[in-house]
Amino acid sequence: MKFTTLQRYKLDQIQTCDFANGSAQYFSLCGNGHAVNEDGLLLGAYHHQCQFMLVADGMGGHPGGDEAVEIILETYKKKYARSKAIVPDTKLFQVLDSCNRTVMAHKKDTGSTLCLALLQAASVQFFCVGDSLGMVLDANQEVKYATVEENSIAMADEIGVVPQEPFLLNYVGYERISYQVSPQIPIQKGDQIFLMTDGAHEFFEQEDEKNIEHFMQKLVEIRASHRLDDATCICLNR
């Protein structure tokens, strides 16, 4: 099993690798509000026809948000490496529960969002906690599916956003955690699959879909003159 992880440091260059019958590009920028990057990402393989990728965002204002992210990444690496005999989505829920229990026991008020994409031969399925985003675009840059509808009050309630308050009430490390699970979404050649923490998708625009390098550079320029949260993005081109 091969994993790629990035967390807790500044990465201002696009990384690229062959992944899941396509090409993955990813970056993780440290924001200017603190010295430690509290985002993390992981690319992993269950077997050759079932891969997954995830982003996690340590809760701003919570002590040990970066530690919660580290727990999530390490738990997925260890749990997925142990057994190949369990149905993938069943295994995912087991690992989510394990992450939640471990983060809750680690430190009071520690938490992280999570968005995971389970990639099989011709489909993707999202598993989300909190406001990190998963999205599928077709070859014409039309949205086929998005895990967070930015203007939906109902969706905001579901992911745990408190109206007019800068915090979430749903995250890994929360006693009453809830998971948003998508259907299996068919994917085909030319589709793009994005995972982003909120620091990235806050500034994501249609023009950024075709040029991840441009998107990252835009975030770097924003960081130079304005407040920028940690920003992490994975783009898988099929």
d(CA 9, CA 12): 10
Nearest CA-CA partner of 216 in 20, 25, 43, 61: 25
For residue 125, what pLDDT is reported?
Answer: 93
Q: Which fold has domain 4-237?
A: Phosphatase 2c; domain 1 (3.60.40)
CB 128 within 8 A of CB 179: yes
What residue segments make up the domains of the chain, in order of their start? 4-237
Q: Give me 102's structure tokens.
A: 């471990």
d(CA 149, CA 224): 29
**Biggest CA pair distance of the chain:** 50
Give 45-64 pLDDT, tens digit per residue.
776 677 889 999 987 666 67
Give 112-151 pLDDT, tens digit per residue.
889 999 998 899 999 988 889 999 999 999 999 998 643 3
pTM equals 0.84
